[in-house]
Amino acid sequence: MTAAPHVLILGGTTEARLLAAALATGDGAGARPPRVTSSLAGRVAEPRLPAGEVRVGGFGGPDGLARWVREQQVDALIDATHPFAETISFNAARAAATAHVPLLALRRPGWVPGPGDRWHPVASLDEAAGALGGLGERVFLTTGRMGLAAFAHLTEHWFLVRSVDAPEPPAPPRMEVLLARGPFDLAGEAELLRRHRIDVLVTKDSGGQATAAKLTAAREAGLPVVVVRRPPVPAGVPVADDVPQATRWLRARIG
């Protein structure tokens, strides 16, 4: 019997887990379930594990990823990493070209401002830190634990930092850490802003519903929001907005 096609999914996002589950149950691509391997970066201490096989840790750059793809006979590569995981996305594009396997980026759509939103778009965390001067002193920072160094020099601001795992230095000197994992609801987010007397929200344009309630809470409270724009997908890589689009793309390539 011919071996089932092998699909490698990069990322521990909600979309990555949903895709792995769909493929593992035969609801995704092909007449029979493919072999599915999900690769997690290992930055979260207790990740939510997807269906199928799981590997944790890096590949050693694009050459290491290309080597793994060839050795494991991967038939299709899905980049379902976080929209801000720029390095692995470009590594995936280079590896797919080297190994001659099709690559798809699975990206949830970004957030769009609506009436009443006071958004201040910026291109980077450094720009976000620079934008805080005229917006407020008490900051709700929801950009993850890996980017706190960009705000470490701000001594006049107080930060409420929310992340899944505890952050490490360098970090702002005046800071309270809230360890939590989404999804978050509107009532909870509104209470958080009120209780901590937040003046301004800082977030990345991650998209999705799991953490979108903070934007609604900020709008209803009349607060400004500094939004870090997401980096582009590597040139030439097709993009799917959701799991059904991704499975249709896979069916066309691995049957």
* pLDDT at 90 (0 to 100): 97
Span 141-150, pLDDT tens digits: 999 888 899 9
Q: What percent of the chain has pLDDT over 90?
A: 81
The answer to whether 122 touches 228, Cβ cutoff 8 Å, is yes
Residue 36 burial (CB < 10 Å; 0-12/13-18/19+)?
buried
Span 106-123, pLDDT tens digits: 999 999 999 999 999 999
* pLDDT at 45 (0 to 100): 63
> To which residue do tokens 């201040």 refer?
120
* pLDDT at 120 (0 to 100): 98
Choose the weakest-confidence range: 31-45, 86-100, 124-138: 31-45
pLDDT tier at 124 (50, 70, 90 boundaries)?
Answer: very high
* pLDDT at 30 (0 to 100): 52
Span 22-80, pLDDT tens digits: 998 876 555 568 999 999 987 666 777 898 999 999 999 999 999 999 999 999 999 99
Q: The tokens of 238 are what?
A: 């097709």
**DSSP codes, 117-160:** -EEEEESSHHHHHHHGGGT-SEEEE-S-GGGGGGGTT--S-EEE
Residue ranges of domains in the chain, CATH in brackets? 6-109+232-254 (3.40.50.720), 118-228 (3.40.50.2000)
